Structure 1
């Protein structure tokens, strides 16, 4: 059965809307390192307000992230705040290459197969394993056999070790031995490429106008750059984890992923500096 969503994307709304929880993860991933992955409550509330998210929604999202083991409460002096948990730090660290150096497979690099069996008595672990495989872009060949391009091997090994799920799985490197047109048809059953294409079109409709403004010579304030940077990276993070990164030859003829990648790279290069200046000013108050 084709899959395009994971547990981190279930609360996404209309185009241009970024859920508070996803925005907080992006902010910590982009700017948390400068403060040892710690941020005061006041700074977090201020930055989320810049994104149009009110304080009640911020506190609700933080509570959910704490329950999920992503954030931990800690204070510095008199300032209350939150830091990333060790598990969250590892997850964001492992994801940077995929986000900023997203790559597409070639036909000759093969596949990685994860075969797993989890006892019914440990169904929560089975759910976690399926969720994490989906998040890494795997498609389901059958209920216990999942597939991804070969270059995902290191990421899935790191995930299984981090979550202590390796004992439930066998991992294989493989080649597909039938003809390419048959493989392209299989790809459409393992992944919902039509829905992914629609998400790329939506991404372009949301973020390409910012590129066009910059190309016309318009200047964004640091606050505007921050807002645009968080939004584009949050949207992009979602897509690169849904996109399996299969070879271009196996994708529909009409495919907007390549242009979306160019738009993301352009905006990240132009917005990162002024956005970081804004965050530094907010955190110094």
Structure 2
């Protein structure tokens, strides 16, 4: 991929709610917020005032929230919907909800890493007149954890076949791709081939960065668990926003094919323990903020001239 296309691809993935998008941008944090706390049955709409208050704790100012919500709405990730108390708000679109639902298994479950799973190959050809489809196809395969064997030939562990087939069909890209199941039989050792198909140094660096930022957070919560729910919310959302791209960038290769002291399992362990510790109090904080703002809005309506 050319360097001039990479920023555009990252931006498109971020706006479309792709779990592999770069973390901690306002749009990424908002999508993570909805994914973590905004998928109640029937669709949980959040008022803009609620989003502003919840994003403020993460260092995102009100203009950035409004701009990001507007962009996510234009991209079809958010739709206008009334909150339970009748205020104007936004909820996840059906498409965005499907993307997030599909991602749960990867994000919150450690993969089975078995050599016996074999491989799935994606072989594709896209006409030059449809270059945008080729760009999207490469982006999505990369976001599913596929590595590159050769131009138009991508590979992933066999267990991702069904997910890949579902995702490509949902995006209307299945007409350009053939999927195959197989095993690697030579000539190089499979571990050596894997090091060509994926940039293992870059993947290890992603895990190490996650550990650098969030392992001390986990340690501090284990040492001092009695802390405000607002702190749990902040630390949980930042960890989830950083983590949710890693299970997509990292294909989850068997340990026998990875370098010694691979950091992936350790970073997954840190995230899953943080999620277990913080999800409950974080959700309580979100509910508290929403309840407080709803009561404030109700008082305002009662005292507003011409009402009551």
Does residue 223 of structure 2 align to residue 185 of structure 1? Answer: no
- Is the counterpart of residue 36 in structure 1 residue 43 in structure 2? yes
Is 1:19 matched with 2:59? no
Considering Cα pairs closer than 8 Å and 6+ residues apart, tell me whether 1 or 2 has the greater RCO.
1
CA distance in 1, matches of 2:176, 2:199: 26
Partner of 2:124: 116
- What per-residue deviation string (whole Å, max 9, x for no partner) do you get for residues 28-80 of structure 1? 11111236142111111111011111011112222332233211233346522
2:244 maps to 1:246: no
Cα distance between partner residues in 1 of 2:288 and 2:160: 38
Gaps of 5+ in 1: 13-17
Aligned residue for 1:33, secondary structure, equals coil
Of stretches 33-42 and 220-229 in structure 1, the one that deviates more from structure 2 is 33-42
Alignment of 1:200-219 (within 5 A): 200-219=207-226
Aligned to 1:80: 88
The structure 2 residue matched to 1:106, chosen from 107, 114, 130, is 114
Q: Which moved more, 1:37-46 or 1:63-72?
A: 63-72
Whole-Å separation in 1 of the counterparts to 2:125 and 2:73: 30
Is 1:62 equivalent to 2:60 in the alignment? Answer: no
| Candidates 220, 223, 236, aligned match of 2:227 | 220
| 1:121-176 Cα deviation digits (max 9, x unpaired) | 22211111111111111111122111100110111111012111111111111111
SS of the counterpart of 1:112? Answer: strand
1:15 corresponding residue in structure 2: none
Aligned to 2:167: 159
CA distance in structure 1 between the partners assigned to 2:126 and 2:22 by the alignment? 28
| Secondary structure of 2:212's aligned partner | helix
How big is the shift at 1:104? Answer: 4.4
- TM-score where L is the length of structure 1: 0.91
CA deviation vs aligned residue, 1:85-110 (integer Å, no higher than 9, x gap): 11111110100000001314211110
Counterpart in the other structure of 2:176 = 168
Aligned mates of 2:243, 2:26 — CA distance in 1: 16
Report if aligned partners of 1:104, 1:248 keep a CA contact under 8 Å in 2: no
**Any idea what SS the aligned residue of 1:246 has?**
coil
Q: TM-score, normalised by structure 2?
A: 0.84
SS at match of 1:254: coil
Task: Measure how far apart 1:206 and its partner are.
Answer: 0.6
Rg bigger for which structure? Answer: 2
Alignment counterpart, residue 242 of structure 2, candidates 218, 235, 243 = 235
Counterpart Cα distance in 2 of 1:219 and 1:154: 43
Q: Confirm or deny: 8 A CA contact 2:21 2:28 kept in the other structure.
A: no
Any gaps of 5 or more consecutive residues in structure 2?
15-19, 295-308
Cα distance in 2 for residues equivalent to 1:218 and 1:102: 25
C-alpha RMSD of matched pairs (Å): 2.0
Within the candidate set 148, 152, 155, 1:147 is matched to 155
